[in-house]
């Protein structure tokens, strides 16, 4: 059975100029242990898609369509049930780590709380050990001491790793990661990507990876969805997308990738790009 | 040779942290930046790359005088600015601007784009050339945002769009030095290419000087003139861009370059072949 089946997902915002679809008629499929990459330009609806999967789209937005996790339909679920699904079965790493961590609590306490919500009855001692181990897993040096620090005491990349540690500590069936390695240096990025692969292999956790880094997508995912203006313009197996892109937009995206070994010239921005912004 | 525009000498930054051990926790300090020196000539771009948590952002904040040094000095155009008072700091801020890593958390969520980008000018008690509305529109155009959205709030923009608001705000005061802390990291490749081109154009036309922090080494290769590599609070290697990329001296630099994610070369080759064939067929 498919782990995640999204059908005809649409997220609509009311605007002064009429309704605007941030996501329109989107279909997604993910097998257990699979990795799906979502790529596309800024403002194309990637983050909105991941929020809508979890029922976390902004209040002003309307979501329609179907989101199934194994055999459970998430659209139309009560808020209480949804909260349980989010704590237990789906974890998410958000794009902006600073604003998704609570500045008033130590990172350790935040990981502990997330874990204890998922495993009621866990003692604080055990939860604390889980928190330290989770930080070690994402290669935070001196984790036993760092666990008592506040988010502002961490660098951007370290905060991102805390978010990943928190998401993985509950062993979710589905992990949605929105630009999880954007703030990381390449060596830590490589470690985190290895870690994600390891978890997929060992626990069958499915991964939805949102990133603008096409090299990362090419290394990690097996299927890719290319989005533009809220719709999927191309989908396929990773090798197919990277060797035989069909849509002009996908081709332009691949042409725009800055290459470390290339001569320095004017970078090719994707032609006909829209200025973006809410309409 | 002319003096460097921005010079940092023996910068040290220590943060107070809680120590571990025992029931009573003793205060302790953590040295995030440990004797860092660098110079940037006018019109150049020094890229600061390296390990996460190595002190790049802290170094940038020290150089931009957003954070007080524990020791060391910062000079702008030969003037020691390490201990400027409030009024002089204001003058300094119109010369040195920063674009931050986290787009949303560095923009006031309750202010419109117009208010955000004009705030630095108001803070410096300078007039707004042409009026706030027209000024904001032209800035938004310069960074590739739709000028019709000047009355929107940060949360109404995507991550990449929000980052461009941050760049617009930095450009508003007409600075000489712009410190970009992961300023293009959140941008997708097409917008990233636009913004890098924009930064390079501004440098060419207006002689802007950049301290550019990024972990994406391909981006650094596109924009830097010099590169400094940091790990654990220190600069372990510094040199001309091509020297650092083509003949890295320090082991950490080599590790960094090896870890760069790459699209498989055979896929790239096949894609180019297919594209060439398609172009052929179209003719
Ligand atoms: N509250 C809102 N009201 C109106 N439009 C919104 C709102 N929030 C987001 N949008 C719009 O929805 C679209 C999709 O945004 P989304 O955050 O999903 O983009 P993205 O693909 O994740 O981009 P990025 O790569 O920059 O993060 C954008 O055009 C954005 O302006
Ligand atoms: N206010 C603070 N209090 C205590 N420690 C801090 C504080 N700010 C930063 N640090 C620590 O200083 C070190 C350097 O942080 P900095 O943000 O400069 O790293 P960075 O090189 O920019 O990393 P990244 O690439 O992840 O953004 C980190 O170990 C961080 O935890
Ligand atoms: Mg996004
Ligand atoms: Mg940083």
- At B173-194, the pLDDT tens digits run 989 999 999 888 777 777 777 7
The whole-number average pLDDT for the span B257-280 is 90
Asked if the Cβ–Cβ distance from A278 to B156 is below 8 Å, we say yes
Quickly tell me which residue has 């912004």 as its tokens: A277
| pLDDT tens-digit readout, A70-126 | 999 999 999 999 988 987 899 988 766 666 788 899 999 999 988 888 888 899 999
Higher per-residue pLDDT: A98 or B261: B261
* pLDDT band with cut points at 50, 70 and 90 for residue A175: very high
**CA–CA distance, B202 with B55 (Å, rounded to integer):** 27
CB B43 within 8 A of CB B208: yes
Q: How many CB pairs under 8 A join A and B?
A: 204
- pTM of the full structure: 0.80
pLDDT at A99: 67
Token duo for residue A11 = 């997220």
Residue A139, pLDDT above cutoff 70: yes
CA distance B35 to chain A (A): 19
* String of DSSP letters for B28-63: EEEEEEEEEEEEE-TT-EEEEEE-TTSSHHHHHHHH
**Largest pairwise CA distance in chain A:** 59
In angstroms, the separation between the Cα of residue B122 and the nearest Cα of chain A is 25
Compute the distance between CA of residue A207 and CA of residue A169 in angstroms, rounded to an integer. 15
Residue B23 has pLDDT above 80, yes or no: no
Whether ligand 2 lies within 6 angstroms of the CB of A148 is answered as: no
Distance CA A200, CA A222 (A): 12
B124 band by pLDDT with thresholds 50, 70 and 90? confident
Quick check: A6 and A65 in contact, CB under 8 A? yes
Lowest-confidence segment of A14-23, A238-247, B160-169 by average pLDDT:
B160-169
Angle A187-A193-A195 from CA coordinates, rounded to 5°:
105
- The tens digit of pLDDT for each residue in B8-22 reads 999 999 998 765 544
Say if residues A201 and A118 touch (Cβ distance below 8 Å).
Answer: no
Q: Are the C-beta atoms of A190 and A121 separated by less than 8 Å?
A: no
**Chain A 75-134, CB below 8 Å of chain B: which residues?**
95-99
Report how far residue B86's alpha carbon sits from residue B148's, in angstroms, rounded to the nearest whole number. 36
**pLDDT bucket at B150, cuts 50 / 70 / 90:** very high
The per-residue pLDDT for range B89-103, each reduced to its tens digit, is 988 998 999 998 777
Q: pLDDT averaged over chain A?
A: 87
β-pairing, B6-18 with B27-40? antiparallel
Residue A274 — very low, low, confident or very high, per pLDDT cuts 50/70/90? very low
Question: How far apart are the C-alpha atoms of A48 and A57, rounded to whole Å?
Answer: 7
- Examine the pLDDT at B57 and tell me if it is beyond 60: yes
ipTM reported for the complex, 2 dp: 0.80
Q: Which of A42, A148, A266 sits opposite B159 (nearest CB)?
A: A42
Instruction: Name the pairing type of β-strands A4-13 and A20-30.
Output: antiparallel
Q: How much is the pLDDT for A98?
A: 61
DSSP state of A277: S
For chain A, how many residues are written? 279
For the record, the structure tokens of B44 come out as 């150049």
What's the CA-to-centroid distance between A51 and ligand 3, angstroms? Answer: 10
For residues A211 and A38, what is the distance between their CA atoms, to the nearest angstrom? 7
Q: What is the pLDDT of residue B152?
A: 95
Q: Indicate which of A57, A209, A258 best probes the interface with B, i.e. most B CBs within 10 Å of its own CB.
A: A258
For residue range A161-174, what is the model confidence (pLDDT) as tens digits? 888 888 888 889 99
Nearest to A172 by CA among A102, A130, A96, A114: A114
Place of tokens 């036309």: B205
> What average pLDDT score do residues A188-194 get?
84
Burial B5-38 (b: 16+ CB within 10 A, else e): bbbbbebbbbeebeeeeeeeeeeeeeebbbebeb
Give me the pLDDT at residue B22, please: 47
Choose among A96, A214, A278: nearest Cβ to B189: A214
Q: What percent of chain B has pLDDT over 70?
A: 96
The predicted model gives A246-252 an average pLDDT of 93
Measured in Å, residue B179 CA sits from the centre of ligand 4 at 12
CB contact at 8 A, A149 and A127 = no
Compute, in angstroms, the gap from residue A170 CA to the centroid of ligand 4: 27
Q: Which chain A residue has its CA at the smallest distance from B225's CA?
A: A264
Put simply, the answer to whether B17 touches A259 (Cβ < 8 Å) is no
> What value does the mean pLDDT take over residues B198-217?
89
The answer to whether residue B275 neighbours chain A at the CB level (below 8 Å) is yes
How much is the pLDDT for A275?
A: 38
Instruction: Kindly tell me if the per-residue pLDDT of B126 is higher than 90.
Output: no
Best of B153, B189, B199 to substitute, by most chain A Cβ atoms within 10 angstroms, is: B189
Nearest Cα residue to atom 10 of ligand 2: A153
Banded pLDDT at A14 (limits 50, 70, 90): very high
Cα-based distances in Å from B83 to A149, A210, B11, B73, B78 = 30, 44, 13, 9, 14
The verdict on a CB contact (< 8 Å) between A156 and B49 is: no
What local confidence, expressed as pLDDT, does residue A277 receive? 37
Q: Mean pLDDT, chain B, as a whole number?
A: 89
- Residue A153 sits at the chain B interface (C-beta within 8 Å): yes
- What pLDDT, on the 0 to 100 scale, is given for residue B18? 64
Q: What is the whole-number distance in angstroms between the Cα of residue B101 and the centre of ligand 3?
A: 14
Partners of residue A266 in chain B, C-beta under 8 Å: 197
Q: Using CB atoms, pick whichever of B146, B160, B267 lies closest to residue A243.
A: B267
Which ligand has an atom closest to residue A159 CA? Answer: 2
Per cent of chain B over pLDDT 90 is 59
Mean predicted confidence (pLDDT) in A22-37? 96
Give the pLDDT confidence score for residue B266 in this predicted structure: 93
User: Distances in Å between the alpha carbon of B278 and those of B201, B205, B268?
Assistant: 34, 39, 15
Tell me the β-bridge partners of A206: A174
């Amino acid at each position: 059975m498919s782990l995640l089946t999204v059908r005809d997902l649409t997220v609509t915002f009311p605007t002064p100029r009429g309704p605007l679809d941030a996501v329109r008629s989107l279909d997604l499929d993910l097998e257990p242990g699979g990795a799906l990459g979502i790529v596309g330009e800024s403002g194309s609806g990637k983050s909105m898609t991941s929020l809508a999967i979890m029922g976390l789209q902004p209040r002003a937005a309307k979501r329609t369509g179907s989101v199934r996790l194994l055999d459970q339909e998430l659209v139309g679920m009560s808020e209480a049930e949804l909260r349980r699904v989010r704590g237990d079965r789906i974890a998410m790493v958000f794009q902006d780590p600073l604003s998704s961590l609570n500045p008033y609590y130590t990172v350790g306490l935040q990981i502990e709380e997330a874990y204890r919500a998922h495993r009621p009855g866990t003692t604080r001692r055990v939860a604390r050990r889980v928190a330290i181990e989770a930080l070690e897993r994402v290669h935070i040096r001196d984790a036993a001491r760092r666990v008592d620090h506040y988010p502002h005491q961490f660098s951007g990349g370290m905060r991102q790793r805390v978010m990943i540690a928190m998401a993985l500590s509950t062993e979710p069936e589905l992990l949605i990661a929105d630009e999880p390695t954007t703030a990381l240096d390449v060596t830590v990025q490589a470690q985190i990507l290895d870690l994600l692969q390891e978890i997929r292999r060992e626990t069958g956790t499915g991964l939805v990876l949102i990133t603008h880094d096409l090299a990362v997508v090419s290394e990690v995912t097996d299927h890719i969805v290319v989005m533009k203006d809220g719709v999927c313009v191309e989908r396929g197996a990773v090798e197919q997308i990277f060797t035989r892109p069909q849509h002009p937009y996908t081709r332009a995206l691949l042409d725009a990738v800055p290459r470390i070994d290339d001569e320095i010239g004017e970078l090719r921005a994707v032609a006909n790009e829209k200025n973006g912004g809410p309409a | 040779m002319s003096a460097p525009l921005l010079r940092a000498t023996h910068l040290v930054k220590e943060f107070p942290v809680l120590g571990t051990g025992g029931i009573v926790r003793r205060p302790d300090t953590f040295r995030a930046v440990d004797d860092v020196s660098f110079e940037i000539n006018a019109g150049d771009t020094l890229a600061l790359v390296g390990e996460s948590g190595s002190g790049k952002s802290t170094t940038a904040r020290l150089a931009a005088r957003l954070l007080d040094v524990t020791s060391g000095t910062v000079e702008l155009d030969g003037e020691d600015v390490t201990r400027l008072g409030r009024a002089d700091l204001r003058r300094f801020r119109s010369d040195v601007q920063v674009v931050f890593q986290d787009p949303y958390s560095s923009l006031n969520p309750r202010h419109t784009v117009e208010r955000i980008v004009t705030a630095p000018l108001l803070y410096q008690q300078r007039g707004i050339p042409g009026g706030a509305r027209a000024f904001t529109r032209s800035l938004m155009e310069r960074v590739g945002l739709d000028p019709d959205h000047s009355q929107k709030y940060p949360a109404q923009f995507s991550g990449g769009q929000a980052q461009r608001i941050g760049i617009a705000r930095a450009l508003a005061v007409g600075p000489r030095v712009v410190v970009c802390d992961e300023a293009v990291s959140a941008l997708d490749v097409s917008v990233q290419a636009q913004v890098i081109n924009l930064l390079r154009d501004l440098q060419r036309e207006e002689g802007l000087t950049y301290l550019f922090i990024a972990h994406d080494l391909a981006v650094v290769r596109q924009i830097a003139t010099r590169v400094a590599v940091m790990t654990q609070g220190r600069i372990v290697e510094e040199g001309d861009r091509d020297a650092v990329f083509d003949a890295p001296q320090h082991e950490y630099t080599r590790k960094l370059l090896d870890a760069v994610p790459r699209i498989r070369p055979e896929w790239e080759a096949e894609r180019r072949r297919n594209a060439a064939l398609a172009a052929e067929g179209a003719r």
